[in-house]
Amino acid sequence: MRILHVVGARPNFPKLAPVFHAGRRAGLGQIVVHTGQHYDTLLSSGFFEDLDIPAPDFNLEVGSATHAVQTARILERFEPVLTSCNPDWLVVYGDVNSTMATALVAAKLGVRIAHVEAGLRSNDRTMPEEINRIVADRLADLLLTPSRDADETLEREGVPADRIVFVGNVMIDSLLRALPRAEATGAAARLGADGSHVVVTLHRPSNVDDEPRLRAIAGALAVIGRTRKVIFPSHPRTRARIADFGLPMGGVDLIDSLPYYDMVDVMRGAHAVITDSGGLQEETTALGVPCFTVRDNTERPITITEGTNQLVLDPSTLPALVDAALRSATVRPPEGWDGKAGERIIEALRTK
């Protein structure tokens, strides 16, 4: 059996790693295609090194652009790669443009598609990621779900039960494997994180492209920064918007994006995390760290019902929420968040 994995952006890499390692242990042929949707070293190639994934066999180098242009570049550049490799399975991850576009190419060429992290829904089609999730799930032959509620969502949407396989959360495989090495980085101490600190990440257009919204979030962070250390590893696009809008960030440590292990070390000991990232909602739940998601909805409701996550509609409430936050004394991750999802994914690919 030969598997072709497609990744394109930072959230994909910790999902790929456990599957790739499990496939290697099983002796399967594997090809990795990086679309180049994220191309900054800290957002891309550094992750391959950190997660012990070989350099990609192909890099499509599509770069940043509008959704339409980026998707078109992926469609055009991926088709000859897929044709030449002729894999038994195309495995796509998450909800980025690369996921949707490469699944479309495979569907038209008759290559079987497996979607890792299938069945997640925010029910908000103003989010580009929601469109990508829906399209990938409609095209996939095998829908590999991270939580039982995702199974239920797919069943309600009419997906045949024999195409749905619950495998658990592959992102948590990488997180659990990373903890000892993350602690060894000393990143938290180097950045002055003392356990009362707050970690922030923001990248979604609804937060960073809307000046009044971003200004309100920045104001809340400034208030928090009066009494706590606020560490804000920032996506290049987010930093550009902060500069464009001339937002004062006094009291906030606005730094470059962190390598994977450094980020895990800073996050695992945090008093709280403020984010709009899907992955951090899951990682904080697994670690027992309070998480405040600055969004109107989440495609990962299990992080609220069984985790440490809370949606924050009004940024002005963040200072009070952070002050009242309490770390979970007993961490009980949801079912399947046990570090073995990668193995279950490979088993599903081999038996279908």
Q: Which of 67, 203, 235, 271 is catalytic?
A: 203
Q: At residue 171, what are phi and psi to the nearest 5 degrees?
A: -60, -35
- CA distances from residue 148 to 52, 91, 166, 169 in whole angstroms, order as listed: 30, 21, 7, 11
192: left (phi over 0), alpha (psi -120 to 50) or beta: left
Terminal CA-CA length for the chain: 12
Rounded Cα–Cα distance for residues 120 and 327 (Å): 26
Per-residue tokens: 255: 């730094």
CB 199 within 8 A of CB 177: no
**Which residues, in sequence order, are CB contacts of 81 under 8 Å at separation 6+?**
33, 58, 60
Active site residue 271: no
Positions annotated as catalytic residues are 203
